[in-house]
A = this chain, B = another copy of it.
Amino acid sequence: MPRVVDHGQRRGEIAEALWRIAAREGLEAVSLSRVADEAGVSKGRVQHYFASRDELLAFTATLLYLRVDERIGTYLAEADRASPLTLVRAMLVGILPLDDEGRTDALVGSAFLVRAVGDPEMRESYRASNRMAVEGLTQKLVGAREKGELAAGVDPEHEASTLFLLARGLTESLLLGEHTPESALAVVDRELARISA
């Protein structure tokens, strides 16, 4: 056995186990014992890294945020930085659950929602990440306006908020299979065409 355990990695592996349970059965099915079984470690080992179920859930909320943020970053890196409206599209594409990984994240996010409504700390974490997403979109829409990419009368702040609400509606719709990745992207592109100069 290695004497130096990679604490961060081990925490990550345990959180991934929680992820799989939450995506399959919802957050209520998550317990320290269930997570230990799923991760193939003892309950004591889980408790070594997370003192309580609440601590485990809080860590998972942070991890969810980082996962979505990383995916957005990947799309942004591939986008044409000279066109802020292309960056807006990249952010929206990064938010939507268009592949298996995105679906799992979105399912965990949905499971968190019900809990976050009743839990002030989790609610604030949820709201903070949503605020950052809307601010990111606003910033890019302001850039688009400066580059002459926006149609007259489009308000960056209002539009950022509306596009983000739409992305959340689309996320639910994609999870239910009402939209395919292709038809969801068509909705995004229709909205972007609407606000384009």
Residues of B within 8 A of A29 (CB): 28
Interface residue from B24, B117, B167 paired with A169 (Cβ < 8 Å): B167
Interface flag for A187 (CB, 8 Å) = yes
Max chain B CB contacts within 10 Å: which of A113, A164, A165, A166? Answer: A165
Within 8 A of B (CB), among A21-54: 24-29
Interface size class, chain A: 35 or more
The residue on B at minimum CB distance from A153 is B194
Question: CA–CA, A26 to B187, complex, Å?
Answer: 31
What's the least CB distance linking A169 to chain B, in Å?
3
In the bound complex, do residue A187 and residue B161 qualify as a contact, i.e. CB atoms below 8 Å apart? yes
What's the least CB distance linking A27 to chain B, in Å?
7
Given contacts A169-B168, A176-B123, A187-B162, whether A24 and B111 have CB atoms under 8 Å apart is no
In the bound complex, do residue A172 and residue B168 qualify as a contact, i.e. CB atoms below 8 Å apart? yes
Question: CA–CA, A15 to B30, complex, Å?
Answer: 25
The residue on B at minimum CB distance from A27 is B26
Given contacts A165-B170, A169-B164, A190-B158, whether A176 and B126 have CB atoms under 8 Å apart is yes
Given contacts A127-B178, A165-B166, A168-B168, whether A107 and B117 have CB atoms under 8 Å apart is yes
Beyond A117-B175, A166-B169, 5 additional pairs, beta carbon < 8 A: A26-B27, A26-B28, A107-B117, A111-B114, A172-B172
Please report A residues at the B interface, Cβ cutoff 8 Å.
24-29, 107, 110-111, 113-118, 123, 126-127, 130, 158, 161-162, 164-170, 172-173, 175-178, 187, 190-191
4 tightest A-B CB contacts, nearest first: A28-B28, A165-B169, A168-B169, A169-B169
